[in-house]
Amino acid sequence: MMNHKDFQAIYMLWLRQMKRFLRTKSRVVTTIVQPLFFLFILGFGLNIAVFPGMQGSYITFLAPGIIAMAILFSSMFTGVSVLWDRQSGFLQEVLVAPVSRLSIVIGRTFGGATVALIQGFIIMIIAIALGVQVAGVGGFLLTVLIMVLLSFTAVGFGLILASKMRDFEGFQSIMSLIIMPLMFLSSSFYPINESLPDWLRVLSFCNPLFYMVDGIRGSFTGINSVLDPLVDLGIILVICIVVMGLGTYFFNKSEV
Amino acid sequence: MDIIVTTNLTKTFNGFTAVDRITFSVKEGEIFGFLGPNGAGKTTTIKMLTTLLYPTEGSASIAGFDVLKQRAQVREHIGVVFQEPALDTELSCRENLDFHARMYGLSAETRKKRIIEVLTLVDLLDKKDVLVKNFSGGMKRRLEIARGLMHSPQVLFLDEPTLGLDAQTRRAIWEYIKQLNKNENTTIFLTTHYMDEADFLCEHIGIIDHGKIMVMNTVDVLKKSVGNDVITLVCSDSSALIQRLSQESWISKITPYGSFLTLGVERGEEKIPVIFDIARAVNVSISSIDVRKPTLDDVFLYYTGRRIREQTETVVNRTIKSPGFHPRRRR
């Protein structure tokens, strides 16, 4: 199973992600600024709108969704960036090393999750500065746990995509055709309740991202969540294990 | 002892056979070369031997470990320098080596010591903190070779180690490879489409074309098999001359190639007048003729019916014309 060398490999792959992230200034800036645009523009733009059954200000409602979005995009990018490594040839260097495939996946996942969490926390701090109330210490810790699981899931999903694609052409269409609809159906921007058409609600409940956003909202702000955050957590855990498992499986199977 | 053994190793990609039932073995401590043009199946063979591709059929073992069933053990015993660059360009030279060293489980002490050793070997010690994205092609190549040596592997695979490098760097890299083979007794398996490289470095070579090994032997034996001397001539009617010359028992092999005719003979300088007499007798005029010792290019032509040189000539010319420039051809 895992030995000393595998832990070294996990650490090294994590460290590499950190260094790469900090050295690509443009990535640091875009991944933080883009969600902030959503938070500020949508947040203030829709603050006067009244949604039936919504408690608190619109920014309080929106912030958990934006935190989830920042983590989702950043983590998915980490998963898909295996493609970069494949094209630049660096993946060969990693795959030919005498370490288990599992430790390679874990190292990349931890690296991606760390970067994503840093971004998530920055959004969180700004949201608090904008007046979003934190529900409590317990709620905060549960939020962090869900953020970690969301990040793992998104890296796993990125790995699945990377193993199925040979170039980046497909990545853009997957972002527009799959990720954007999932974002809109995740309750990030408007509450999911009886006032919506049935088909839209059913679609939302089929959306894995819905439980992540709902869980963060329920634990972080303590209001407006559809399900109990702990129920969300259970569902998220199952989704995370399945997606990470598939991601590892596809990564193992892919040849260079 | 045979350190690399393959039996009927085959790889097909969607019906295209890149490597076709090759069987060969490499002895411990030797430099073995796969010589063949681009697309002959050299890289695919290396990828199968280094566990990066699954063979479609057949088997192979490195240092006694099966490349299909004992992948982890195989990886522990090998080092690979890939044809495409496999460096992280966002990391510095030292960071790339450190990454590698940790992936191979070297201790902190060994890491520091080896990084200095291998960087000295490839003359990059003063560049150790420079980001790799600022390196020239030649520097990247040297760094990759240094990295391949970091963990003192038993077998080192070099896929086209000097592709596109300038003449001076190629020479230096050849010297490193020789030294390494001698001092650390590393077995070296290299692929190349440069005749001079195979000639300079390898004891044994295998000529590979269209995924098949055409012939495998020592460089000397292969050259002798062509003939002691090679005569190349251009004449007015090669088919008539071939017909007439094929009756002569002292010509070991006649190979037409374009407007050229290549003959394998003994004591070539004495045969030139004889060939002129024969040509005159069948009313063929010879416009140019030369005699030389056989090269691996002649060996290649002899066994495959084509020349390897046609695709590499442009690269060689470019290298000679601009010694300060470091061209690196990439697929």
Looking at residue A172, its pLDDT comes to 78
The reply to whether B103 touches chain A by the CB within 8 Å rule is yes
The string over B260-273, giving b where at least 16 C-beta atoms fall within 10 Å of a residue's C-beta and e elsewhere, is ebbbbbeebeebbe
Chain B residues in contact with A91 (beta carbon < 8 A)? 86
Which two structure tokens, joined as six digits, stand for B42? Answer: 């050299």
The reply to whether B78 touches chain A by the CB within 8 Å rule is yes
Dist CA A145 CA A125 (whole Å): 17
Residues B118 and B264 in one domain: no
Looking at residue B328, its pLDDT comes to 43
Chain B interface, best mutation among A92, A166, A255, by max B CB count within 10 A: A92
Note whether A92 contacts B82, CB cutoff 8 Å: yes
**Tens digits of per-residue pLDDT, B185-233?**
899 999 998 888 999 999 999 999 999 999 999 998 998 888 888 999 9
Residues B248 and B115 in one domain: no
Task: Specify if B306 maps to a domain.
Answer: no
Task: Specify if B68 maps to a domain.
Answer: yes
pLDDT bin (cut points 50, 70, 90) of residue B121 is confident
Residues B43 and B192 in one domain: yes
Cβ burial of A16 (10 Å; 0-12, 13-18, 19+) is: buried
Task: Specify if B269 maps to a domain.
Answer: yes
State yes or no: pLDDT of A134 exceeds 80. yes
Of the given ranges (A172-176, B49-53, B68-72, B157-161), which has the lowest mean pLDDT?
A172-176
The string over B285-295, giving b where at least 16 C-beta atoms fall within 10 Å of a residue's C-beta and e elsewhere, is ebeebebeebb
Residue B160, domain CATH: 3.40.50.300
Residues B185 and B234 in one domain: no
- Give the sign of the dihedral formed by CA B11, CA B5, CA B106, CA B174: negative
DSSP collapsed to 3 states, chain B: CEEEEEEEEEEEECCEEEEEEEEEEEECCCEEEEECCCCCCHHHHHHHHCCCCCCCEEEEEECCEECCCCHHHHHHHEEEECCCCCCCCCCEHHHHHHHHHHHCCCCHHHHHHHHHHHHHHCCCHHHCCCEHHHCCHHHHHHHHHHHHHCCCCCEEEEECCCCCCCHHHHHHHHHHHHHHHHHCCCEEEEEECCHHHHHHHCCEEEEEECCEEEEEEEHHHHHHHHCCEEEEEEECCHHHHHHHHCCCCCCCEEEEECCEEEEEECCHHHHHHHHHHHHHHCCCCEEEEEEECCCHHHHHHHHHCCCCHHHCHHHHHHHHHCCCCCCCCCC
Residues B102 and B233 in one domain: no
Looking at residue A256, its pLDDT comes to 64
Dist CA A185 CA A181 (whole Å): 6
Chain B interface, best mutation among A4, A7, A93, A100, by max B CB count within 10 A: A93
Residues B65 and B213 in one domain: yes
Residues B249 and B112 in one domain: no
Of the given ranges (A58-67, A236-245, B90-99, B301-310), which has the lowest mean pLDDT?
B301-310
State yes or no: pLDDT of A214 exceeds 90. yes
A20, A89, A96 member nearest B84 (Cβ): A89
Task: Specify if B202 maps to a domain.
Answer: yes
**Tens digits of per-residue pLDDT, A4-27?**
888 999 999 999 999 988 888 887
Decide if B120 contacts B80 (C-beta within 8 A). no
Task: Specify if B304 maps to a domain.
Answer: no
Task: Specify if B164 maps to a domain.
Answer: yes
Residues B80 and B174 in one domain: yes
Task: Specify if B303 maps to a domain.
Answer: no
The reply to whether B261 touches chain A by the CB within 8 Å rule is no
Residues 134 through 163 of chain B touching chain A, CB cutoff 8 Å: 147
Inter-chain contacts counted by CB atoms under 8 A, chains A and B: 75
Residues B102 and B37 in one domain: yes
Which residue segment(s) compose the domain that B29 sits in?
2-222
B52, B95, B105 member nearest A5 (Cβ): B105
Looking at residue A236, its pLDDT comes to 96
Dist CA B326 CA B165 (whole Å): 6
Which candidate, B193, B271, B177, B204, places its Cα nearest to that of B233?
A: B271
Chain A residues in contact with B47 (beta carbon < 8 A)? 256
Of the given ranges (A65-79, A143-157, B288-302), which has the lowest mean pLDDT?
B288-302
The number of distinct structural domains making up chain B is 2
Which candidate, B62, B65, B63, B68, places its Cα nearest to that of B10?
A: B68
Dist CA A169 CA B44 (whole Å): 26
Boundary of a domain, candidates B189, B222, B255: B222
**Tens digits of per-residue pLDDT, B300-309?**
888 887 777 5
Note whether B84 contacts A19, CB cutoff 8 Å: no
CA of A158 to nearest chain B CA: how many angstroms apart? 20
Residues B59 and B165 in one domain: yes
Return the number of other C-beta atoms located less than 10 Å from residue B53's C-beta: 20
Decide if B195 contacts B300 (C-beta within 8 A). yes
Residues B191 and B74 in one domain: yes
B102 CB-near residues (< 8 Å, 6+ apart): A8, A9, A11, A12, B111
Mean pLDDT, range B284-293, rounded to an integer = 90
Residue B263, domain CATH: 3.30.70.260
Note whether B53 contacts A4, CB cutoff 8 Å: no
Mean pLDDT, range A183-195, rounded to an integer = 90
Chain B residues in contact with A256 (beta carbon < 8 A)? 47, 52-53
State yes or no: pLDDT of A3 exceeds 70. yes
Residues B117 and B52 in one domain: yes
Task: Specify if B89 maps to a domain.
Answer: yes
